Structure 1
Amino acid sequence: MDIPVPKKTSFPLRHKWAVGLLACAVIIAALWASLLDKKTYLERHSLMIDTVKHGALSVTVDAFGTLVSAEQKIITATSPGVVIDIKHKPGDVVAPGTVIARLENADLELDYKRAQQQTAETQAELQQLDLRQQRELLVERSTINLLEGQLATLSFRFQAQKDLAEQGIISQLSFLETQAQLRSVTGQIDHAKTRLSQLQALHRSTLQVMQKRVALSQQELASLVSKVAMLLITAPNDGVIERMSLELGARIAMGDHIATLGDQAGLIAQLQVSQSQAGSVQVGQPVDVFVGDAVLNGEVLRIDPVVSQHSVKVEVSLPEYEHLDLRPKQSITASIVIDTIENTHYIRTPVMELSTLSVDMYKVLETGQTELVEVQLGQRSERYVEVKSGLQAGQSVVISDLDALAKARQVVVIE
């Protein structure tokens, strides 16, 4: 008898696709589960870990700069010349009268010698004029004295002849001749005195003109003496030479810059603050100035209104610093305290990008395990950032850049 053969049952095509999708889902779920269970092990020394602190947080703006003199003296050339000697260079400490450099000017020295000769000549002319006037006055006075002697003789004769003429002893003609001579000598004396007075006035006028010539010559000589003396460039006061651009053989014109002299006893900090942070800086804010291992507590004095090379210049006063060896142009760093938040939590500013106030960070547990927590941040500075929530005082947190692991929700174990 015939045995019936069962017919093959074939699944529809859509059933096959369903089975395939189910298998893929199972595989993906298994892989995802394996990824979630996979742990990333990191060495502690390769991470930056900070402990959450509680207290007052100073919000600061960090800056860099240099120390500059609070008072500066610009030394300029008061006489033109050629640099023939340089005694001091930038950085040298000088006292008043210290010779910094020496110039040479052959034309100026020649003018000085000519002025000396001219002054000597005018002084000699003045002396000659004075002697000549004295001699002329002596001649006039001698003439007057001679006439006065004649007048006295004629007066005696006139008195004697007057009585004799009245008595008829001498002729009337002789008496009249004596009288005429008396009047003539009297007139000559009056003219001589008038001439003497006019001569004295002329002498005074001529002498004044000559004295003015001598004074002018002396002034010119004094000016040249001063200019020659100024070929020696000296320090006007105590200080340190901050800048000097002299070179041997260089020709210096009047008014050219010679050196900048700074007051070493009065220094201020000149900081460069980023223009994006300069708006938070105000006059009077406290500043911590770091000079080597020393920290000086200063105060913002002035904020430059002009932006230069993407930064703003800020000047900071400094306290007493006699115990420190500070010099102009010394490099410094500083932190300007723009705000102080009392009774808050804070950590060192993480190195990751903080584009939002909420960030996922790895809290370090005592076992070495980590817990990914959401941390709300507040105000920040370049050194510290305020923690609003997510962490407590005393807890440790990784501040290294683990942003890629945090986004993948990766488990991190610190060895």
Structure 2
Amino acid sequence: MDVVKRKSQSKLIKSKYQVAAILAALVITLALWSWKKAASVSVNRSDILVERVEQGDLEVITEGFGVLNSNRQQLLTTLTRATVKEIVLKPGANVTADSVIVRLDNPELTQEVENAKQELAQMRANLRQLKLNNQREILNETASLAEMTARYESAVLNREAEEKLIEKGIVSQLAYKESVLEEEQLAKRIDILKQRIAQLKLVHNESVNIQLEQLKQQQGQLGISQARLDSLEVKAGFSGVLQRLSVELGQSLEPGQEVALIGSVKDLIALIRVPQNQVQQVSVGQNAIINTRRDKISGTVTRIDPIVQDNTVEVEIALPENLPDSARPQLNVNASIIADTLQKVYYIKRPANVKPHSEITLYRVAPDSSAAHLHTLKLGQQAGRYIEIVSGAEPNDVFIISDLSNLKITASELIIKS
């Protein structure tokens, strides 16, 4: 008969529980070690950027870039078809109002001016001839009037004499009535002749006026042709600099084609490109500083372009009249637009990849600089390289501003190695 050994089986079960407990403790220990290792990462001090929180007045500055441009520009174009005959000046040359930049050639236009001059001279001669003919007609009519007046006066004397003789019966009644009739007829003819002379003068004046109008039109036509001929010498029009020359020697040009661009030298403006996410801080009338890399020039915002191009908006800044020698058209410049001044605020140099009016987490460095822990900050307005801290920090707090977004997910603590 078999005997069951219950004591040996109990020892075996007890040993299994002990092994399981040991394994569980080992797993927990490894988990705690792994969590502590994951929550703490080491970095070298030379590999990170740290900045201290400051307190004071902060100017909200919007940074931008652009060029200086002539405030006054004039585009020179051709008035007629022509060929480039001579290039007198090249881009960069200083010019005055009468400076000749390019000489063009058009033989047809030269002939057109000569024809217009000859036609004008012929019309002037015709006008002189017309005046002479009018004067001759007036003289003839005046002579006829004088002759008619003399006949009338003779008829009056004859009638007066017959009037005395008819009473004595020397002159017949018929002869006397004929004398009276002749006197009346001559008087009427004199009145008609005077009216004719008056009307003739009006007709002559009108014919002269018509000729003068035609002469004036021809003078205008000649002026237009002469202006087109004179425009073959392309002049600057005002003092400045030749910024662009768009033609070559021997090139054929069509009417309205660009020849050159003239711009002012000292009357300049700054055209600045501002990021579209910062342009809402800019308004007309704000002060700005233009940096030419040799000088700094004060200016005022005068215009904000409503169109966004390449994620930037163009802002126009007016500059003072007296500019330094370093300011030249088409010079690349940087600009700082002063949007506002924040008084007695906390601020820090702007960390990488942060936006204004947002909440971020940064590593705050411990006082002994041996470690850093994640800390939440609420940000306000951006001011150039700096950004306002609304809450979450005190003056002299030190934060790491390097881009450590890949560590923030896994490591809440950084160990800083010297």
Instruction: Return the TM-score normalized by structure 1.
Output: 0.75
Q: Does 1:400 align with 2:397?
A: no
| C-alpha distance after superposition, 1:332-363 (max 9, x if no partner) | 22223334322233222223667963423353
In 2, Cα distance between equivalents of 1:342 and 1:222: 67
In 2, Cα distance between equivalents of 1:67 and 1:151: 92
Cα gap change, 1:315/1:130 in structure 2, threshold over 3 Å: closer, same or farther?
A: same
Partner in structure 2 of residue 290 of structure 1: 291
Verify the 8 A CA contact 1:147 1:185 in the aligned structure 2: no
1:76-225 paired onto structure 2 within 5 Å = 76-142=77-143, 190=190, 196-197=197-198, 199-225=200-226
State the 1:143 CA deviation. 5.5
In 1, Cα distance between equivalents of 2:321 and 2:139: 77
Verify the 8 A CA contact 1:65 1:270 in the aligned structure 2: yes
State the 1:217 CA deviation. 1.9
Greater Cα offset, 128-137 or 185-194: 185-194
State the 1:23 CA deviation. 3.7
Verify the 8 A CA contact 1:287 1:298 in the aligned structure 2: yes
Cα RMSD over matched residues? 4.4
Partner in structure 2 of residue 385 of structure 1: 387
State the 1:292 CA deviation. 1.4
Partner in structure 1 of residue 362 of structure 2: 360
In 1, Cα distance between equivalents of 2:380 and 2:394: 15
Q: SS at the partner of 1:303? A: strand
Amino acid corresponding to residue 378 of structure 1 in structure 2: L
Q: SS at the partner of 2:326? A: coil
Partner in structure 1 of residue 255 of structure 2: 253
Verify the 8 A CA contact 1:102 1:233 in the aligned structure 2: yes
In 1, Cα distance between equivalents of 2:151 and 2:248: 83
In 2, Cα distance between equivalents of 1:200 and 1:400: 101
Q: Does 1:16 align with 2:19?
A: yes
Partner in structure 2 of residue 3 of structure 1: none
| C-alpha distance after superposition, 1:119-147 (max 9, x if no partner) | 11111122222233334444455556667
Cα gap change, 1:205/1:353 in structure 2, threshold over 3 Å: closer, same or farther?
A: closer
Q: Which runs of 5+ in 2 are unaligned?
A: 1-6
Partner in structure 1 of residue 348 of structure 2: 347
State the 1:286 CA deviation. 3.0
In 1, Cα distance between equivalents of 2:148 and 2:34: 149
Verify the 8 A CA contact 1:365 1:371 in the aligned structure 2: no
Partner in structure 2 of residue 231 of structure 1: 232
Amino acid corresponding to residue 359 of structure 2 in structure 1: L
Cα gap change, 1:317/1:162 in structure 2, threshold over 3 Å: closer, same or farther?
A: closer
Cα gap change, 1:16/1:370 in structure 2, threshold over 3 Å: closer, same or farther?
A: closer
Q: SS at the partner of 2:395? A: coil
In 2, Cα distance between equivalents of 1:37 and 1:274: 38
Greater Cα offset, 314-323 or 8-17: 8-17
Verify the 8 A CA contact 1:303 1:312 in the aligned structure 2: yes
Q: SS at the partner of 2:221? A: helix
State the 1:384 CA deviation. 0.9
Identity of counterpart residues, as a percentage?
25
Greater Cα offset, 355-364 or 244-253: 355-364
Verify the 8 A CA contact 2:70 2:329 in the aligned structure 1: yes
Q: SS at the partner of 1:20? A: helix
Cα gap change, 1:158/1:351 in structure 2, threshold over 3 Å: closer, same or farther?
A: closer
In 1, Cα distance between equivalents of 2:33 and 2:235: 88
Q: Does 1:411 align with 2:408?
A: no
Greater Cα offset, 32-41 or 381-390: 32-41
| C-alpha distance after superposition, 1:284-320 (max 9, x if no partner) | 3333322214333333322222323332222223345
Q: SS at the partner of 1:119? A: helix
Partner in structure 2 of residue 333 of structure 1: 334
Verify the 8 A CA contact 2:64 2:273 in the aligned structure 1: yes
Paired residue total: 400
Q: SS at the partner of 1:307? A: strand
Greater Cα offset, 122-131 or 86-95: 86-95
In 2, Cα distance between equivalents of 1:158 and 1:335: 111
Q: SS at the partner of 1:300? A: strand
Verify the 8 A CA contact 1:74 1:259 in the aligned structure 2: yes
Partner in structure 1 of residue 56 of structure 2: 55
Verify the 8 A CA contact 1:373 1:390 in the aligned structure 2: no
In 2, Cα distance between equivalents of 1:179 and 1:37: 149
| C-alpha distance after superposition, 1:47-73 (max 9, x if no partner) | 544444331122332222222334444
Q: SS at the partner of 2:225? A: helix
Cα gap change, 1:295/1:365 in structure 2, threshold over 3 Å: closer, same or farther?
A: farther
In 2, Cα distance between equivalents of 1:40 and 1:121: 100
In 1, Cα distance between equivalents of 2:406 and 2:160: 145
Greater Cα offset, 119-128 or 134-143: 134-143
Q: Does 1:309 align with 2:313?
A: no
In 2, Cα distance between equivalents of 1:342 and 1:122: 82
In 1, Cα distance between equivalents of 2:314 and 2:40: 54
